[in-house]
Structure formats: C-alpha cells, structure tokens
Amino acid sequence: MVDRLLVLQHLDCEGPDLIADLALERGLAVEVFRTDCGDRLPDHTETPGSIALVLGGPMSTSDPLPWLQLELEWLRCRHQMQQPILGICLGAQLLAIAAGGSVEPLRVGEPPVPLREVGYGAIHWLRNAEQEPVLRGMNPSEIVLHWHGDRIRLPASATLLGSSLHCREQVFRIAQHVFALQCHLEVSGPSLERWIEEDRDYVIAAMGADGPEQLLQDWSQLHPQIEQQARRLFSNLLDQWSR
C-alpha cells in the first residue's frame, strides 16, 4: 500500500505543487528532503510504501556537487529495487543517468547551436492509451511548460512516450516503476511568478525582453486546460502505483 510521497527538492521556489495536492487528496503523507541543505535521504528498506518525486533545479547533472552524487546513488539503488520514482526536469535527467543514459546540451539546427527551450509549447505523445494506460484521457498533443537547456540521451531500457519540436526526449518511462518528464506540468501560478522573478535573465536570454510578461500571459490563458490534463496524467500514474 502506498502511503508516502518522498519529495527531493532542490530549490526553495520549485516545489511539488500539483503533485503534492494530489497526494494529499489521496491521504498520502508528503515528506520533503533537501539534500542540498544537508538532509539525509531515508534508507530504502524504511520506505516500502513510498513514491519518490525528484524535482528540477538550475544545477547541471555534471556539476561536482557531493549532495547531487549522493542523490544519484540513492536513485540508482531505488531504481534497481524497482520502487516508484517520478522525475521532472533535473529529476528526469538524474533518472536517465541512474539507468545508464546521459545528458548533454540541447542543440538544434545545422550546424547545431545551443538552445534554451523556455515557454509554453506542445509535446506530442508517441504512444496511445491502449499501449500506455497512464495516457488514458490525454489528447494527442498537450501544452506544457518548457524550461531547460539540456537534453537526455535515453538508456536502452527506456520507452520514449512524448517529444517536442526541439527536444525528442520529453517524456519516458522505464519498466513500470520510473516515469519522467523533461517538461513541466506540475507548476502553479505563484510558483511560476517566483521562477520568473528569480531567473529573469535566463528567461530573457531564451525568449527575448518580453519573455517574462509573455510567460505570465500564456499562463493566464492556458492554465485551466493544462491543470486539467496534468491532474489526469498524474492521477493515472498514482492509480497505477497504488494498485
């Protein structure tokens, strides 16, 4: 029986948002760990009824941060034990590495040039709900928030589920216990405002001078649709892991 959501958070302003709401609605306890602040992650034998949620952050998977390496080893062990893990952005990248994949800068065009994929845009599902029950009720394409400058090279064990125009590796799973998104569906309006406030230069570099205002405008128009579909996707996933 699933009774806990273990959240690995890496930044004050980047929390579990919608996913925590869904967990609490189901009666799950939500426990947040900040390994970057010295928190110790629980032993895997102590958390048999848990789901791990690994969030994003501005750091790179290649940064020489001792706590990041400890987190990666913890994820590698949890993956080997086939305990449920949901990874988002940096979390998805760490999961790919833990399973034998890699991460590199996102480059597009000929010749390839670096790209920061930031803003609201579509992902396209590559499989359907008959093949992937977690996609039940999803549209062929969904609008998501992009906020990254790296791409994932998937491990051989991964199944690619969704891609965007500029980045092929947007959503993937490994067996039935790992689900990962490079993009964001969990973000609340207040969190987005904080992201923009704290990372304004990054947004402007990616989207231009009007990028911050464009993001907020897009959010105000798109968030009802995005939240509805995000609730559906994450609820499907929680249902799958709660059986």
pLDDT score at 123:
99
**Assessment of whether the complete model's pTM goes beyond 0.95:** yes
pLDDT score at 243:
86
| Cis before 140 (ω within 30) | no
In terms of Cα–Cα distance, which of 16, 21, 48, 50 is closest to 32?
Answer: 16
**Strands 102-105 vs 107-108: parallel, antiparallel or unpaired:** unpaired
Beta bridge partners of 176: none
- Using one digit for the tens of pLDDT, what is the confidence trace for 68-110? 999 999 999 999 999 999 999 999 999 999 999 999 999 999 9
Q: Give the torsion sign (CA, 92, 173, 181, 9).
A: negative
Q: What is the mean pLDDT of residues 219-227?
A: 98
Q: How many angstroms separate the CA atoms of 172 and 195, rounded? A: 25
- Using one digit for the tens of pLDDT, what is the confidence trace for 19-55? 999 999 999 999 999 999 999 999 999 999 999 999 9
Decide if pLDDT at 193 tops 90. Answer: yes
197: domain range? 4-242
pLDDT score at 216:
98
Neighbouring C-beta atoms of residue 139, cutoff 10 Å: 13
Q: What is the mean pLDDT of residues 161-169?
A: 98
Count of structural domains within the chain: 1
State the pLDDT confidence band at 1, using cuts at 50, 70 and 90.
confident
Task: Report whether 61 contacts 14 (CB < 8 A).
Answer: no
Q: What is the mean pLDDT of residues 5-26?
A: 98
Q: What is the mean pLDDT of residues 143-161?
A: 98
State the pLDDT confidence band at 118, using cuts at 50, 70 and 90.
very high
Decide if pLDDT at 113 tops 90. Answer: yes
Decide if pLDDT at 194 tops 90. Answer: yes
Q: How many angstroms separate the CA atoms of 113 and 111, rounded? A: 6
Q: How many angstroms separate the CA atoms of 60 and 131, rounded? A: 33
Give the CATH number of the domain where residue 24 resides: 3.40.50.880
